Chain A
Amino acid sequence: MAARRSRISLILAPWVFTIGFFAIWEVVVRALGVSNFVLPAPSVIAEAIVQYRTQLLFHSYHTMWMTLAGFGLAVIFGLVLGMALGASQIVHAGAYPLLVGFNAIPKVAMVPILVIWFGVGWQAPVLTAFLISFFPIVVNVATGLATIEPETEDVLRALGASKRDIIFKVGIPRSMPYFFGSLKVAITLAYVGSVIAEYNASNVGVGNLMARASADFNVPLIWAALIALAVLGVMMYAATAYAERRMTGWAQRSQFAAQ
């Protein structure tokens, strides 16, 4: 009985906490008479969401595509570079310092350069999303490849396996959990990149919508856009997390991960 009750509480808990959070927000804002300009109440934000729904949908859709395009580039580039790094010690030794140096640059600082190169348009958001998100993919794929157990390698080499055989039979399957794990990080980063670039260098997208809303001091719209960003972000994160679970179930076999 007790076990069943605690299971039901676990299912209800997220709803109770979320609704409670917004309810307290509403009550506090009303009770203290906080102005809409400082912190709008959830009901005001909800009104703004309804009022601007077409705009919000249009811009969210655009931001989603910018993010996915940059993320897609990062996946391809990250896989290729990660494999090169993991498979060849020379490439690893040579390219790693460069990569680390590049990764140390806050990518926001590159937006002005991208604007000089491409002007205002889709290129800056896509490229910022790409630049900001490929690094974790590279590192994770390379790690998966470079940490093959020496005994596994010995077993295969004693059979006459080529380096290529070992990479395809062992290295790549074994780096998949690392790869999918890094996708969750990468999609979040790509999203940050595309929104920041839209804010600074685009005529569309949620980032741009926020830039214009803040220029107009339209605070409820800024908050509505924030909520739209949260929803979109959760959706993209959930999609990658789902892909990870589907593709690498064998790596999540422990009781610990299942709980």
Chain B
Amino acid sequence: MDAFVDIHDVTHIYAGAEDGAPAVEGMSIKVREGEFAAIVGPSGCGKSTVMKLATGLQFPNKGTVIVDGREVDAPVKIAGMAFQNPVMLPWRTTLKNLLLPLEIVQPHRSRLRAHRKEYEARAEALLAQVGLEGQGSKFPWQLSGGMQQRASLCRSLIHEPKLLMLDEPFAALDAFTREELWCIIRDLHAAKRFTVILVTHDLREAVFLADRVFCMSARPGRIIAEREIDLPRPRDLDVTYTQPFIDIVHELRGHIATAREAV
């Protein structure tokens, strides 16, 4: 298999870790280009650490991380990220928050000044796609939590990254908003076909969105199960009430339960 993200036998110990124990150990993940992967596992098992390794924010003590055919030895520059906390900059309007990645990433960085209108139109279009039409001039703190999270998703996609990293982005939202956002991210992925790695502790979310789900053990994190999700696309929210869907969720729950017992 030709992997877009290839994390091979990686062990990582944080420099600041008091006990010197690894956060992840002997960890391997392969994600194909354009694939939607989900990583599930108990909290503190090293899911966020995997994100940091894949984006070059941390470097492994052992093993290799290859993204887009190159070994990662610096921040990757092709990734968009969104977290549980939307981390919008409160002094910028929502639209200006969206433009932030373009002020950093080339070639946009040099083009931004001259093509400002064009980029602003792109940001507005993206806002409209996530149901935030015309909200660009508001400050983030004037938006609800769900709206901020939508804007945060837009910001992670504005520079059309080849790799989208989502670290529990829906965890703090109410159930209805969460399912709305599932559909939004599903449609964005279907339209643009970027590679996604979604970290979550919600098994239904993982099964609904992903092509492939990885289950991690408790700390030190390893992959204890990998499951291809062959439910046909496009998936509707109704699929979450069908038997095949429920069976997969049960199967994964079994893996997680064993992982927790092992502690």
Please list the residues of chain A having a beta carbon within 8 angstroms of any beta carbon in chain B.
149, 151-152, 154-161, 165, 169-170, 173-174, 176, 248, 250-251, 253
Q: Which residues from B are CB-within-8-Å of A151?
A: 83, 85, 87
Q: How far is the CA of A246 from the CA of B87 in the complex (A)?
A: 24
CB-nearest residue of chain B to A157: B75
User: Which residues B65-124 have CB closer than 8 A to chain A?
Assistant: 74-77, 79-81, 83, 85, 87, 89-91, 100-101, 103-105
Q: Please give me the residue from chain B that is nearest to A153 by CB atom.
A: B57
The answer to whether A158 touches B75 (Cβ under 8 A) is yes
A174 in complex: contacting residue of B57, B80, B89, CB < 8 Å: B89
- Contact of A157 with B87 at beta-carbon distance under 8 Å, contacts A165-B104, A250-B139, A253-B141 already known: no
- Check B89–A173 contact: CB distance below 8 A: yes
Nearest 8 interchain pairs by C-beta: A160-B77, A158-B55, A250-B91, A159-B104, A158-B79, A151-B87, A161-B104, A152-B87
For residue A160, which residues in chain B have a CB less than 8 angstroms away from its CB?
74-77, 104-105
Determine the main DSSP class of A at the interface with B: helix
Could you name 12 residue pairs across A and B whose Cβ atoms are closer than 8 Å? A149-B85, A151-B87, A154-B57, A158-B76, A158-B165, A160-B74, A160-B105, A165-B103, A169-B100, A169-B104, A174-B91, A176-B91
Closest to A166 in B: B104
Q: A151-B83, A158-B77, A160-B77 are known contacts; what are 20 more A-B pairs with Cβ within 8 Å?
A: A152-B87, A154-B81, A155-B81, A155-B83, A155-B87, A155-B156, A156-B100, A157-B75, A158-B57, A158-B75, A158-B80, A158-B81, A158-B165, A159-B75, A159-B79, A159-B101, A161-B75, A165-B103, A174-B89, A253-B90
B52 at interface (Cβ–Cβ under 8 A)? yes
Tell me which of B52, B85, B89, B139 has the highest count of chain A C-beta atoms within 10 A of its own C-beta: B89
Contacts of A170 in B (CB 8 A): 89
- Residue B159, interface by CB 8 Å: yes
Kindly report which residue of chain B lies nearest to residue A159, judged by CB atoms.
B104
In the assembly, what is the distance between CA of A173 and CA of B88, in Å?
A: 13
Chain B residues whose C-beta falls within 8 Å of the C-beta of A165 in the assembled complex = 103-104
The residues in B between 29 and 82 inclusive whose CB is less than 8 angstroms from any CB of A are 52, 55-57, 74-77, 79-81
Residues from chain B with a CB closer than 8 A to the CB of A248 are 91
Residue numbers in B under 8 Å from A155 (CB-CB): 81, 83, 87, 155-156
How far apart are the CA atoms of A156 and B104 in the complex, in Å?
A: 8
Q: Are B75 and A149 in contact (CB under 8 A)?
A: no
Contacting residues, chain B, for A253 (C-beta < 8 A): 90, 139, 141
Closest chain-B Cβ to A114's Cβ sits at a distance in Å of 40
Contacts of B85 in A (CB 8 A): 149, 151
* Given A158-B55, A158-B165, residue A251 in contact with residue B81 (CB < 8 A): no
Closest A residue by C-beta to B100: A169
> Which residues of the partner chain B approach A152 to less than 8 Å between Cβ atoms?
87, 89
Give the residues in chain A near B105, CB-CB below 8 Å: 159-160
* Distance between Cα atoms of A160 and B57 in the complex (Å): 10
Q: Tell me, in angstroms, the Cα distance from A151 to B104 when the chains sit together.
A: 16
Q: A154-B52, A154-B81 are in contact. Are A159 and B159 (CB under 8 A)?
A: yes
How far, in Å, is B170 (CB) from chain A's closest CB?
15
The smallest C-beta distance from B242 to any residue of chain A, in angstroms, reads 36
Q: Which residue of B lies closest to A250 (CB)?
A: B91
Chain B residues with Cβ below 8 Å from A149 are 85, 87
CA distance A42 to B133 in the complex (A): 63
**A158 vs B105: C-alpha distance when bound (angstroms):** 10
Q: How far is the CA of A176 from the CA of B165 in the complex (A)?
A: 31
Residues on B with C-beta less than 8 A from A174 are: 89, 91
Known: A165-B104, A174-B91, A253-B141. A158 touches B56 (CB 8 A): yes
Bound Cα distance A165, B109 (Å): 12
- What chain B residues lie within 8 Å of A158 (beta carbons)? 55-57, 75-77, 79-81, 165
Which of B77, B90, B91, B156: most chain A Cβ within 10 A? B91
- A253–B56 Cα distance when bound, in Å, is 36
Nearest-CB residue, chain B, relative to A249: B91
Beyond A160-B104, A169-B100, whether A251 also contacts B87 by CB under 8 A is: no
C-alpha spacing A176/B104, complex, angstroms: 22
The residue among B75, B104, B139, B165 with the most chain A CB atoms within 10 A of its own CB is: B104
Is A250 a contact partner of B159 (Cβ separation < 8 A)?
A: no
Chain B residue nearest in CB terms to A253: B141
